[in-house]
Amino acid sequence: MYTVCVEDWFAAAHYLRNYHGKCENPHGHNYRVKVYVSGKDLDKGGMLIDFSVLKKHLKSVLETLDHHDLNSTPYFKEQEPSAENISRYIFDSLKTLLPSGIRMAGVEVFETEKNSVLYREDA
């Protein structure tokens, strides 16, 4: 099994509606995102997926979040825009863009340099 990883960033504002503390107030983060995809078979060029293709897909998903108030975006009107839910949103959005034979292995969202969440589905 091969696993490929690409990384990108986005900036966004949010607040947590059901949290009592500093994060219930509007604030922003520069999020770092790592995406992991897996598969068994390589193409004729010896690649699972071209890095540039995976980066393009990730960028298209992150554009829906970048420089937005996450609480105002359709997905997060009901969901808390926590790092956990952001990672699930990116995972589910990317899953629909992947070619057959390649599966999402995980999405890691860093809210700060030291704090991250990794979302993956159970096999």
Would you state the structure tokens that stand for residue 114, as one six-digit string? Answer: 């030291």
Mark whether 5 is an active-site residue.
Answer: no
> Look-up: residue for tokens 């990883």?
5
Q: Which of 24, 111, 113, 121 is catalytic?
A: 111
Q: Which of 23, 29, 57, 121 is flagged as catalytic?
A: 23
Please pick, among 5, 7, 24, 67, the residue that the annotation labels catalytic.
Answer: 67
67 included as an active-site residue: yes
**Burial environment of residue 15 by CB neighbours within 10 A (0 to 12, 13 to 18, 19 or more):** middle
Q: Is 65 exposed, middle or buried (0-12, 13-18, 19+ CB in 10 A)?
A: buried
Active site residue 84: no
Give catalytic residue positions.
23, 67, 111
